[in-house]
Amino acid sequence: MTRRVLVTGGAGFLGSHLIDALLERGHEVLCVDNLFTGSKQNIYHLHNNPKFEFLRHDVCFPLYVEVDEIYNLACPASPIHYQHDPVQTTKTSVHGAINLLGLAKRLKCKILQASTSEIYGDPHTHPQTEEYWGNVNPIGPRSCYDEGKRCAETLFFDYHRQHGLEIKVARIFNTYGPRMNSSDGRVVSNFIVQSLKDEPITIYGEGEQTRSFCYVSDLVEGLIKLMESPSDFTGPVNLGNPNEFTIRELAEKVRNMTHSSADLIQMPLPTDDPKQRQPDIRLARQVLDWAPEVQLDEGLRETIDYFKTVV
Ligand code: NAD
Ligand code: UDP
């Protein structure tokens, strides 16, 4: 059935791919974004699509629109950007959640929250299951993002318990692909851009910290399956690719795939940088019948081809 879908943060990396997938399924989409880290370029190809609408708006302020379901993705996601104005980052997660939950309550519609593996902090259990409560520094430079997202999860579950709202909470692990912002400092985009320019590849610390990288098409499929899951399934559910790599392995892989002669150099490790991260996706497999299909080499090839057109 065709639905009117609101996607906040829709001009960003994940949001713009989600919108493409929703439009392909025949839905109407309202994209709400304040263009802090997103760009009109990411949604430019949609400007003549009668089923697509863009509204420039900051989710920290109330929003009055009529839709059938809501994906809440609005929030800067890279450390450089979320630490640029940390108070605004917390406000975006917390006030944004309150405003959109209020909208969902008035409309009696489903609402999905883009939460994050960062709510596990620097984890003591490995891989991370949804039962793990996390190891998060409440007062460090990453806290504005981590604690903001944790508080948003709290608000989602309180609206669910207190007001009977149908909620869906996705804990998204590191995702990459075309339309990543080349200047937001995330590791995949940094390494590809540096390799393509034959500039030094900046490994923070020893490069022994690990991450598990999910290709954007897999992630979007997971978000949509979660939104369409049975009404009593709230999550939180991990969405990510469990194949784990050290940051040094990633650097070497990107350098080889781009045939680059860039040097690998070490830079200081950022404060509170998690040492390891890998999603346990058994819940997503079982309830959503979802698992990632695109492995790192294939996803990197697509992403490298994209960055060749923009750098
Ligand atoms: P992004 O920065 O590309 O997209 C975020 C979008 O939100 C941008 O378009 C930005 O302009 C918009 N935005 C920020 N503050 C806003 C505000 N106050 N009002 C309206 N719009 C606002 O990042 P992304 O990677 O696409 O991330 C999207 C969502 O997924 C975020 O909520 C992020 O926390 C979550 N997430 C992403 C990843 C990942 O690896 N990409 C991992 C975990 C969680
Ligand atoms: N990183 C790195 N070099 C870079 C950018 C990031 O070594 O140029 C490291 C960073 O310290 C972290 C990992 O790569 O250990 C992933 O960083 P990113 O900012 O992409 O995501 P997050 O830390 O939020 O997982």
34 lines ligand 1 (CB under 6 A): yes
Asked, for residue 254, whether it belongs to a domain, the answer is: no
Asked, for residue 172, whether it belongs to a domain, the answer is: yes
The boundaries of the domain holding residue 16 are: 4-176+215-241+279-293
Provide DSSP, the chain.
---EEEEETTTSHHHHHHHHHHHHTT-EEEEEE--SS--GGGGGGGTT-TTEEEEE--TTS------SEEEE--S--SHHHHTTSHHHHHHHHHHHHHHHHHHHHHHT-EEEEEEEGGGGBS-SSSSBPTT---B--TTSTTHHHHHHHHHHHHHHHHHHHHH---EEEEEE--EE-TT--TTS--HHHHHHHHHHTTPPEEEETTS--EEE-EEHHHHHHHHHHHHTS-TT----EEES---EEEHHHHHHHHHHHTT--PPEEEEPPPTT--S---B--HHIIIII-------HHHHHHHHHHHHHHH-
Asked, for residue 136, whether it belongs to a domain, the answer is: yes
Question: What does the pLDDT look like over 235-250, one tens digit per residue?
Answer: 999 999 999 999 999 9
Atom of ligand 2 minimally distant from the CA of 269 = 11
For ligand 2, atom 16, name the residue with the nearest CA.
187
Question: What does the pLDDT look like over 53-87, one tens digit per residue?
Answer: 999 999 999 999 999 999 999 999 999 999 999 99
**Averaged over 32-54, what is the pLDDT?**
97
CATH number at residue 286: 3.40.50.720
Question: What does the pLDDT look like over 99-123, one tens digit per residue?
Answer: 999 999 999 999 999 999 999 999 9
Asked, for residue 273, whether it belongs to a domain, the answer is: no
Asked, for residue 116, whether it belongs to a domain, the answer is: yes
Q: Is the pTM of this model over 0.85?
A: yes
Asked, for residue 246, whether it belongs to a domain, the answer is: no
For ligand 2, atom 19, name the residue with the nearest CA.
186
295 confidence band (pLDDT: 50, 70, 90)? very high
Question: What percentage of the chain reaches a pLDDT higher than 70?
Answer: 100
User: Which residues have C-beta atoms less than 6 Å from ligand 2?
Assistant: 78-79, 174, 185-187, 190, 202-204, 209, 211, 247, 270, 273
pLDDT of residue 1: 82
Asked, for residue 303, whether it belongs to a domain, the answer is: no
pLDDT of residue 29: 98
**Ligand closest to the CA atom of residue 181:** 1
Asked, for residue 298, whether it belongs to a domain, the answer is: no
**Position 171 pLDDT exceeds 90:** yes
Q: What's the structural domain count of the chain?
A: 1
CA of 244 to the centre of ligand 2 (A): 14
**Averaged over 218-228, what is the pLDDT?**
98
